[in-house]
């Protein structure tokens, strides 16, 4: 069969309120041309994030009812622990309320003044936790990962040569941890190969540096390995995941991504001493080690989600639906980061709107245009999110001006994706009529969440 179907039926639905263009013009003006300030009910297709926005299965909902809420020693914890032990091979499993809580604990212990934490690309909360603890985050992404229009199979790989050089320059004693993000979220959801993981592990081992995995999208990464890396065609995604984790000394995970949960996460490791230190911190901020900031019901939902996420029919539909969106854009020569990633498509707003200069925020202008055209909400990843001002108050822009369309898991169907493609194509046809925007209000930190704009 040629058609890849959603491998699920729908048992419970959430209505979408379909706004008119006139309504959206008013709503966007009231939101000061910042889609973050829109009310979710006024959005038709919400692609702001894939974090915690997926649909749970009937088995997960059954787990919500079955969850045991005992303060200590809940059976839901032991199920959670055993699923994660089997997947990762790591004996020490520490639940936390979401990914950044695992990072906070890990980097409070490992990071510090004069220390470097190396990654392919640190996710923004990971970098924030490394730097809040006094250390410096260092991204050593491979060269292919830096070229948006280049098609290559593993654009999330770490640059192993640069890693060796960095260790030689700074000294292994100043590098308490190397952490690889799979897939590389900030780099377009691009996967990391098993070969690269092995090579990084070898360098870490030779230098006695612990090697961790930021495992938020481990299943999507492992499906790409199965599709693209020699020797993995006939392995199951679960077997590939088990091999991937076998090279790591530990991992952090947000269960809001590849565990189909609305909240949760964990920290897991081999080192008993690190586990004890971690649990000491856990008790201060998250809770007792058998619930760690979660309800027993959440632990059940996560355990079931981790079993479901490695199912290949699901991953086939997941990865294919984003690739399918990419093909629709290819047909119209609409520029985006290639190839499509595991969880999102990133439109290249700089190439889409070449007439809008960086200081008129092409990504923001494009995300407004997508909302006005079809009620689609994406997120600007460019000069609004990462722009800084120099001493003369002039904007210093990042390399890329992007709009990320993150696809929630099991939430939208093919007709939603068809509609989305139509909206993007329509906006592309009218692109010359789109104007830039100017900032009228901004906060000092993380300004993209609350900034206000006007249309030029
Ligand atoms: C989402 C995410 C995190 C942080 O997880 P939260 O649950 O949002 O705290 C860390 N790393 C990556 C790669 C992520 O995508």
**What DSSP designation does 123 have?**
-
Confidence of residue 2 (pLDDT cuts 50, 70, 90): confident
Tell whether ligand 1 has an atom less than 6 A from the beta carbon of residue 125. yes
Contact present, 437 and 361 (Cβ < 8 Å): yes
- pLDDT, residue 327, reads 97
- Does 261 have pLDDT greater than 80? yes
Q: Closest residue (by CA) to atom 11 of ligand 1?
A: 123
Structural domain ending residue among the three candidates 308, 334, 362: 308
Select the more confidently predicted residue: 135 or 386: 135
Ligand 1 centroid distance, CA of 217 (Å): 9
* Same structural domain, 255 and 385: no
- pLDDT, residue 187, reads 80
Mean local confidence (pLDDT), 378-387 = 92
- Does 446 have pLDDT greater than 90? no
- Does 445 have pLDDT greater than 80? no
- Does 367 have pLDDT greater than 90? yes
Nearest to 263 by CA among 411, 98, 123: 98
Query: Ligand 1: which of 105, 185, 217 to mutate, judged by most atoms within 8 Å of the beta carbon?
Result: 185
* Same structural domain, 211 and 252: yes
Tell whether ligand 1 has an atom less than 6 A from the beta carbon of residue 184. no
Q: Is residue 4 part of a domain?
A: no
Mean pLDDT value across the chain: 96
- pLDDT, residue 136, reads 96
- Does 1 have pLDDT greater than 80? no
Q: Closest residue (by CA) to atom 5 of ligand 1?
A: 99
Structural domain ending residue among the three candidates 308, 323, 346: 308
Q: Which residues pair with 417 in a beta bridge?
A: none
Ligand 1 centroid distance, CA of 308 (Å): 20
* Same structural domain, 284 and 326: no
Task: Report residue 154 as tokens.
Answer: 């593993």
Q: Is residue 1 part of a domain?
A: no
* Same structural domain, 98 and 242: yes
* Same structural domain, 144 and 209: yes
Mean local confidence (pLDDT), 291-299 = 97
CATH of the domain at 248: 3.40.640.10
CATH of the domain at 370: 3.90.1150.10
- pLDDT, residue 188, reads 85
Q: Measured between alpha carbons, how far apart are the two ends of the chain, in Å?
A: 50
Query: Ligand 1: which of 125, 156, 404, 406 to mutate, judged by most atoms within 8 Å of the beta carbon?
Result: 125
Q: Is residue 301 part of a domain?
A: yes
* Same structural domain, 136 and 264: yes
Mean local confidence (pLDDT), 23-45 = 97
* Same structural domain, 276 and 141: yes
Structural domain ending residue among the three candidates 288, 308, 328: 308
- pLDDT, residue 444, reads 78
Distance (Å, rounded) from C-alpha 180 to C-alpha 117?
10
Tell whether ligand 1 has an atom less than 6 A from the beta carbon of residue 186. no
Tell whether ligand 1 has an atom less than 6 A from the beta carbon of residue 254. yes
What lies within 8 Å, CB to CB, of 380 at 6+ separation is: 349, 361, 363, 364, 366, 367, 401, 402, 403, 448
Ligand 1 centroid distance, CA of 101 (Å): 10
* Same structural domain, 384 and 250: no
Q: How many Cβ atoms sit within 10 Å of the Cβ of residue 7? A: 14
Query: Ligand 1: which of 257, 259, 305, 406 to mutate, judged by most atoms within 8 Å of the beta carbon?
Result: 257
Ligand 1 centroid distance, CA of 254 (Å): 5
- Does 58 have pLDDT greater than 80? yes
Q: Is residue 3 part of a domain?
A: no
| Enclosing domain of residue 418 | 21-50+311-455
Confidence of residue 405 (pLDDT cuts 50, 70, 90): very high
* Same structural domain, 175 and 28: no
Q: Is residue 114 part of a domain?
A: yes
- Does 234 have pLDDT greater than 80? yes
Confidence of residue 407 (pLDDT cuts 50, 70, 90): very high
Query: pLDDT (tens digit, 9 = 90+) per residue, 73-105?
Result: 999 999 999 999 999 999 999 999 999 999 999
- pLDDT, residue 186, reads 83
* Same structural domain, 233 and 123: yes
> Rounded to two decimals, what is the model's pTM?
0.95
- pLDDT, residue 311, reads 97
Task: Report residue 199 as tokens.
Answer: 């090579």
% of the chain exceeding 90 in pLDDT = 93
Tell whether ligand 1 has an atom less than 6 A from the beta carbon of residue 123. yes
- Does 185 have pLDDT greater than 90? no
Confidence of residue 149 (pLDDT cuts 50, 70, 90): confident
Confidence of residue 148 (pLDDT cuts 50, 70, 90): confident
3-class SS string, 154-213: CCCCECHHHHHHHHHHHCHHHCCEEEEECCEHHHCCECCCHHHHHHHHHHHHHCCCCEEE
* Same structural domain, 282 and 352: no
DSSP sequence for 19-66: --HHHHHHHHHHTTT-GGGS-GGG-SEE-S-SSS-SPPPHHHHHHHHH
Task: Report residue 417 as tokens.
Answer: 């994706």
* Same structural domain, 136 and 34: no
Mean local confidence (pLDDT), 251-256 = 98
Mean local confidence (pLDDT), 120-138 = 94
- Total count of domains within the chain: 2
Q: For residue 221, give Cα distances in angstroms to 25, 255, 298.
A: 39, 15, 24
Tell whether ligand 1 has an atom less than 6 A from the beta carbon of residue 174. no
- pLDDT, residue 386, reads 86
Query: pLDDT (tens digit, 9 = 90+) per residue, 194-220?
Result: 999 999 999 999 999 999 999 999 999
């Amino acid at each position: 069969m040629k058609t890849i179907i959603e491998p699920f039926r729908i048992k419970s639905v959430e209505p979408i309120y379909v706004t008119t263009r006139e309504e959206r013009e008013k709503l966007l003006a009231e939101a000061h041309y910042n889609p973050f300030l829109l009310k979710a009910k006024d959005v038709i297709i919400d692609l702001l994030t894939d974090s915690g926005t997926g649909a749970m299965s009937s088995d997960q909902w059954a787990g919500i009812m079955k969850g045991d809420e005992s303060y200590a020693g809940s059976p839901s914890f032991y199920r959670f622990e055993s699923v994660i032990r089997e997947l990762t091979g790591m004996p020490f499993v520490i639940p936390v309320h979401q990914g950044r809580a695992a990072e906070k604990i890990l980097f409070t212990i490992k990071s510090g003044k004069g220390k470097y934490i190396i990654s392919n690309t640190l996710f923004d909360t990971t970098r924030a936790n490394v730097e809040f603890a006094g250390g410096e985050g260092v991204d050593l992404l491979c060269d292919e990962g830096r070229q948006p229009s280049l098609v290559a199979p593993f654009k999330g790989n770490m640059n192993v040569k640069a890693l060796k050089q960095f260790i030689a320059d700074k000294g292994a004693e100043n590098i308490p941890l190397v952490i690889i993000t799979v897939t590389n979220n900030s780099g377009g959801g691009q996967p990391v190969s098993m070969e690269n993981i092995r090579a990084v592990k070898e360098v870490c081992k030779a230098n006695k540096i612990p090697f961790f995995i930021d495992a938020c999208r481990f299943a999507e990464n492992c499906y790409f390995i199965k599709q693209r890396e020699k020797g993995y065609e006939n392995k199951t995604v679960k077997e590939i995941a088990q091999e991937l984790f076998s090279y790591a000394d530990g991992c952090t995970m947000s269960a809001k991504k590849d565990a189909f949960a609305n909240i949760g996460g964990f920290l897991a490791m081999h080192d008993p001493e690190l586990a004890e230190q971690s649990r000491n911190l856990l008790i201060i901020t998250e809770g007792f080690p058998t619930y760690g900031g979660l309800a027993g019901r959440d632990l059940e939902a996560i355990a079931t989600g981790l079993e479901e996420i490695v199912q290949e029919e699901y991953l086939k539909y997941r990865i294919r639906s984003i690739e399918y969106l990419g093909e629709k854009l290819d047909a119209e020569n609409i520029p985006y980061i290639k190839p499509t990633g595991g969880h999102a498509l990133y439109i290249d707003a700089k190439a889409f709107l070449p007439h809008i200069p960086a200081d008129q925020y092409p990504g923001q202008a494009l995300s407004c245009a997508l909302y006005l055209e079809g009620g689609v909400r994406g997120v600007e990843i460019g000069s609004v999110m990462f722009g800084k001002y120099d001493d003369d108050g002039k904007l210093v822009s990042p390399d890329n001006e992007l709009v990320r369309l993150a696809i929630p898991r099991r939430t939208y169907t093919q007709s939603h994706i068809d509609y989305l493609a139509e909206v993007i194509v329509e906006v592309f046809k009218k692109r010359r009529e789109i104007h830039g925007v100017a900032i009228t209000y901004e906060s000092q930190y993380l300004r993209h969440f609350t900034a206000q704009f006007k249309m030029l």
